[in-house]
Structure 1
Amino acid sequence: MERIAYIIPGFGHSPLRQRGYKAIGGFFERQGITPRYVLIDWHRKTPRTFTDFVRQFLKHHDGRKRQETYVLGFSYGATIAFLSATKIKPKALILCSLSPYFEEDMKNLKPSWIRWWRKHFKDSDYSFAAMAPRIRVKTYVVYGSKEHFSVAVRAKDARARIPRSSLRVSRGAEHKIHRREYLRTLERLIKTL
């Protein structure tokens, strides 16, 4: 059976340009899992919608039954992975620094962040509490200990609400997937797959 890992980058990132994504692909390769780097056109449409981002990801996913699929997403990429999990049913989901922009998170965000979000994302009313119980796959939630507190709150809530989930805190890591601390945490996690 073929084993494939889809790697979805954070907002504005390209797995071909930003450091870190290739290293993560190497971690998967060492476990016999073929990495597939997902290219999202973040600026294709305005206003932006997660519906469009999920659609772009699903075009990369070939949906063959005879493959074991893993999906790793960072930040907005983690949101895309989360929103698509019920459609593709991967073997495991790795949500790195899941963006705290669900309707339950608004109370934890700076007003300027909320204004930017609502201006640029028109389908921004997803309820995490309503969606999380439908995720039935093994889910790893990862965040850095030096990220904004709203990311930690979102990660801990995800761990509590998603069945079959576990939480990993990357000590000393900021909201930067290419940093050594974050990569070390992901390398250890991917070795367990």
Structure 2
Amino acid sequence: MNKTILFVPGFQEGCADRDYDTLMNRWRAMGYAVEFVPIQWHRTMQKQWLQTLQERYQQYDPAETILAGFSFGACIAFLAACEQAPSELWLFSLSPSFAECVQYWSQRDWRVIGKRRLEYAKQVSLVAAAQRIACPVQIFVGSEEFIKWPEMKLVFDTAVQHIPTVHGTVVEGAGHAVDDPRYVAAVCDAIER
């Protein structure tokens, strides 16, 4: 039986907002079934985003399901995996939406993201959550993200240090763009290993 990838996009994004199809089609060519999990971002909180993924996830056998996400979508996949382990967890540019990272966010960032979401993020420890992950994890980040957002390095390094079964990949020359050809190639190369 082919495994199914449930993929959660980045904040305020739908399938057409970024070239997610290139990555998802590569996965399909590798033999995976892929389902894009649309999130209602507007006027909702992380709990609702998580509930959306969990409702979809309940329709599948966790042993045959891979949770994957980009940016805030990676946070949602990460939190879902803490509650019920999938066969694997793939995190792309895991957003620094955790208690350990709050000091990095500017007032402008939180005006865009929202004060209630900040309060939620303050209550979620990356370290504590990472220790609850009970499946193999692949985490990816673009090297350019470290330059633009130092908190992305903090999240990546913390995840690699505290998730028990993790493989971290820094994609040289890529920014916060899971659709960058370098990012897509690195993801597919790591998955094929």
Question: Gapped runs of 5+ residues in structure 2?
Answer: none
SS of structure 2 residue aligned to 1:94: strand
Query: The residue matched to 2:155 in structure 1 has which SS?
Result: helix
Report how far residue 27 of structure 1 moved.
Answer: 2.0
Q: Distance in 1 between matches of 2:41 and 2:61?
A: 29
Cα distance, 1:117 vs structure 2 = 4.3
1:53-89: CA deviations, max 9, x gaps?
A: 0001112224443851111100000000010003331
Q: 1:2 to 1:88 in 2, by over 3 A?
A: farther
Aligned position for 1:27? 26
Counterpart residue type for residue 74 of structure 1:
F
After the TM superposition, which residues 30-109 of structure 1 pair with which residues of structure 2 at under 5 Å, given as runs? 30-43=29-42, 46=43, 48-65=44-61, 68-109=64-105
Say which SS state the counterpart of residue 10 (structure 2) adopts: coil
Return closer, same or farther for 1:150/1:58 CA change in 2, 3 Å cut-off. Answer: same
Q: Distance in 2 between matches of 1:149 and 1:135?
A: 24
Deviations 1:82-136 (A, max 9, x none): 1000333111101111111211112333343356545251422211121111101
Distance 1:59 1:35, change over 3 A: same
CA RMSD of aligned residues (A): 1.9
1:10 aligns with 2:13: no
Whole-Å separation in 1 of the counterparts to 2:150 and 2:104: 8
Larger proportion of helix: 2
Q: Structure 1 vs Structure 2: percent identity of aligned residues?
A: 27
Partner Cα separation in structure 1 for residue 13 and residue 170 of structure 2: 22
- Count of matched residue positions in the alignment of Structure 1 and Structure 2: 188
Q: Deviations over 1:30-66 (max 9, x none)?
A: 22110011011111xx3x3211100011122244438
Letter in 1 for 2:157: K
Contact persistence 2:90–2:137 (CA under 8 A)? yes
SS at structure 2 position matched to 1:166: strand
Answer with 87-96 or 5-14: which moved more.
Answer: 87-96
Change (3 A) 1:64 1:175: closer
SS at 2:17's partner residue?
coil
